[in-house]
Structure 1
């Protein structure tokens, strides 16, 4: 088996590339910068310099491949330019889909996000059949949803595909924009005081990075075709998450709860000032809104059909804490 993998210098893609290679699967890794420090190195990984936004470079990388795993995406929620999201998440995805169809790829695996479903309805856990009940809160959610529609469009053209909707990922790995939980662990370890919104009863789903990698391997090897799977772990509130991390790290940090609206307005003012002096924003109000909505979910379908087995939050956070302690 030879797999074209996009996004191999990203948080999920990097570990996935090495996991594939260690299983003696040949990997064609499409990378923009061959000198990146995030390049996964292994004898079974062959680098192809290019970009998913450049169709010709995708064609060169896909030759000889039987399967495709598309993890590359633009995820910077602080970015206000929709073209950045659209070019990579939509146009780039269509380039990979078009090349996959051209070369009769046996299976196309698309790494998506749980957030395309939006918030849960009345805190009922999200499942694969839930329709979206709200408007899109940011360009990332919008363009990933558009990309999923493209995947389904190419199914009708004969391309077999699996979509994996991943919840909030955490665990050892590269430090990237999507490592929000890892950054939270580090802050709880290092700070004496953290200012947090008072909406700590909000529930989200958290999934360990190795479970996400394993889900891709299971999807690759399964007989499942043209399916969507939610890939998650445990559903917990922010309060439970904070307390668990604090206990595991033996932290003495104190949490100062601030009214959500006041904190949101404060971020708006701070970011406006930073914009005027040429600095990038910190957490924007839209990012805050995306973080503080209920998104519990269930992975029962993946458990039943892929034999997916998620790691408990306590064990996953313990491994994460040990990893971050080694880096500090």
Structure 2
């Protein structure tokens, strides 16, 4: 049965693929886009594009008018910005405008895309789940997404159906932008251009295939319990294990070198100084280096149990990504 569905962030890494999946299901899709020309190049012609940003209430209302469901994926996820308030304006104030408009327009349900980063690192290497208590967060991106989750609670209390999803480190075919950094590293490794581990390389994280995250969004809209959050993760592996698997699938192994975190921190501080002095985006910042001191393991059992969420085997996901990268060259 066709529905009218609105997305923010439809031109992003996850949003573009979610848009295409919704069209395949016969849905009528409307997208709020800052740059309609760019959107027309990225999105299928069937998508109805409304020009506007998260700070434009009239555009949001026009985009949501008559829609039953909204996916809010738009976010500011960069490493740094010369204006620190940019993160707050997009991730907090923008999210509140989306929820405010959805309530006013009578939208049935909103799936809000947050990040697993708001849960913090895993203590003693144990996987964290959705019940993790608030922790001190490292980056402006994580802090502002956590604040947006708290604001969502106010709109739940007003009667708006909201389900939150928390993706981990997403990779796979799609735009090679800041949200798809893992795929960029896979591409560099396949050419012999990425040759180091952060620290010892034994710190673990969670890596998830983009198509699984897209499916998780659809399941959250269909089956998610109101007011709940669901981690959309994949496989808990270390940097060494991940790139060992890339080498195995690639059929070519490059020697990797550990990069001491003290050296990384020195580089990050220099990059931060350059950014603050000349306004040039840094390659990395101290808050991101601090994250490498910890494991970031998660449990996806709640999403499996309540949504029927399943994940692609890591080897298969990497193989699909490498095939796409080779075809895209």
TM value normalised by structure 1: 0.94
Aligned partners of 1:147 and 1:32: how far apart in 2?
A: 21
Moved more, 188-197 or 59-68: 188-197
Deviation at 1:193, TM superposition (A): 6.3
Q: Is the 8 A contact 1:125 1:295 kept in 2?
A: yes
Q: Which runs of at least 4 in structure 1 moved beyond 6 Å after TM superposition?
A: none
Aligned partners of 1:258 and 1:286: how far apart in 2?
A: 17
Tell me the residue number matched to 1:203.
204
Q: Is the 8 A contact 1:199 1:292 kept in 2?
A: no
Q: Is the 8 A contact 2:127 2:299 kept in 1?
A: yes
Tell me the residue number matched to 2:60.
58
Q: Are residue 262 (structure 1) and residue 281 (structure 2) matched?
A: no
Tell me the residue number matched to 1:23.
25
Tell me the residue number matched to 1:218.
219
Deviation at 1:77, TM superposition (A): 1.6
**1:51-200 → structure 2 map (5 Å cutoff):** 51-133=53-135, 135-191=136-192, 194-200=195-201
| One of 17, 41, 45 as aligned partner of 2:44 | 41
Q: 1:8 to 1:236 in 2, by over 3 A?
A: same
Aligned partners of 1:285 and 1:196: how far apart in 2?
A: 17
Q: Deviations over 1:276-328 (max 9, x none)?
A: 56643112222222355211011111111111111111111111111111122
Deviation at 1:273, TM superposition (A): 4.8
Aligned partners of 1:229 and 1:278: how far apart in 2?
A: 37
The number of residues matched between the two structures is 326
Q: 1:159 to 1:167 in 2, by over 3 A?
A: same
Mind listing any 5+ residue stretches in structure 2 that lack a counterpart?
none
Aligned to 2:174, the other structure's residue is in SS state coil
Aligned partners of 1:57 and 1:77: how far apart in 2?
A: 28
Q: Is the 8 A contact 1:196 1:256 kept in 2?
A: yes
Q: Is the 8 A contact 1:169 1:209 kept in 2?
A: yes
Mind listing any 5+ residue stretches in structure 1 that lack a counterpart?
none
